[in-house]
């Protein structure tokens, strides 16, 4: 028999689900304002941090590499992404944002108000604690 979750845990899980749903809703809306799908916007956002091979993009977004190839093809046809050889292994191609791709990713990030506005009501200490708790939940907390 599975142990029953306590009411506080159930409430926290429901709140996390609501936050995630609202974030995705706003992200899709923001992406559409830049004539991107949500998936294209997520790929462009990842690439604006660092160029990546298709395999790593797929791993980070938890999807099939063939899906990423199609997304990168569409971003490349719009001049937002380019493929280039990996300096560490010239057999591997990296997807990297163009200058216009970086500007678009920055505008997209700037148009995500849902996450910023509620967080602005928290103190620096509260935001720091929230960040640390989320990192612990994800197993990415610095040691």
| Whether residue 47 has pLDDT greater than 80 | yes
**What is 32-111's CATH topology?**
Arc Repressor Mutant, subunit A (1.10.10)
The number of residues in the chain equals: 143
* Listed range (23-32, 101-110, 114-123) with the worst mean pLDDT: 114-123
Q: How many angstroms separate the CA atoms of 97 and 94, rounded?
A: 10
CATH 1.10.10.10 domain position(s) in the chain: 32-111
Mean pLDDT of 107-118: 79
Indicate the helix (H) or strand (E) that contains 53: strand 52-53
What pTM value is reported for the model?
0.77
Q: State the DSSP string of 90-122.
A: EEEEEEEE-HHHHHHHHHHHHT-HHHHHHHHTS
| Whether residue 143 has pLDDT greater than 70 | no
| Whether residue 2 has pLDDT greater than 70 | no
């Amino acid at each position: 028999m599975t142990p029953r979750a306590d009411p506080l845990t159930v409430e926290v899980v429901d709140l996390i689900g609501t936050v995630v749903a609202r974030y995705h809703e706003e992200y899709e809306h923001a992406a559409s304002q830049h004539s991107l799908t949500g998936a294209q916007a997520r790929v462009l956002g990842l690439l604006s941090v660092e160029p990546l091979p298709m395999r790593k993009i797929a791993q980070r977004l938890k999807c099939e590499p063939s899906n990423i190839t199609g997304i990168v093809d569409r971003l490349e046809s719009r001049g937002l992404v380019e493929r280039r050889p990996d300096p560490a292994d010239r057999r591997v191609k990296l997807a990297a944002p163009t200058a216009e791709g970086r500007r678009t990713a920055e505008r997209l990030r700037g148009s995500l108000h849902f996450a910023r506005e509620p967080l602005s009501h928290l103190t620096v200490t509260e935001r720091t604690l929230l960040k640390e708790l989320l990192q612990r939940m994800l197993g990415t907390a610095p040691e």
